[in-house]
Amino acid sequence: MLRGDNSERYAWVVGAGLPSLAATVFMIRDAKMKGENIQIFEDSGPGKNTLDTFSTKLPNEPSPVFLNLLTDIPFLNSQDISIRKQLEDFPEQTKLKDIILSIRYWLQKEGVIFSSGYIGNEYKS
């Protein structure tokens, strides 16, 4: 964990999968980094949809670290319920895709920059 004043630190995260999103949440929440100092590079080349790559099945018993991650993030832009509460109250109805969307939305509100493109002759941002 980074210590001291992390407001002037920068991070570049490769990939927008759940591990990368989780790491970014922890950098903002626990390491107190500024969201605008974090950039996530995701591969969304021609014909790709990042959300389509995620499994729709959640683990039967999510780990304590995973649940901790979801505690303070609103579920689908709701100010009344966290992702964790949604998952605990409605486990069968809570889809991984909705969790990912909720985390991404929260990160964007925190100022995180998402850059999509692909390696090749062109780069689109």
**Could you report the per-residue pLDDT of 37-56, keeping only the tens digit for each?**
999 998 765 445 555 555 55
Q: In what order do the strands lie in the sheet with 113-117?
A: 11-14, 38-43, 113-117
Output the DSSP codes for the chain: ---S--TT--EEEE--SHHHHHHHHHHHHTS---GGGEEEEEE--TT--GGGGS-SPPPSS--HHHHHHHSSSBGGG-SS-BHHHHHHH-TTT--HHHHHHHHHHHHHHTTPEEEEE-SSS----
Residue 81: CA count within 13 A, CB half-sphere? 12
pLDDT of residue 34: 95
Distance CA 32, CA 34 (A): 7
Please give the model's pTM, rounded to 2 decimal places: 0.80
Specify the higher pLDDT residue, 102 or 56: 102
> Looking at residue 42, what is its pLDDT?
85
Summary mean pLDDT of the chain: 82
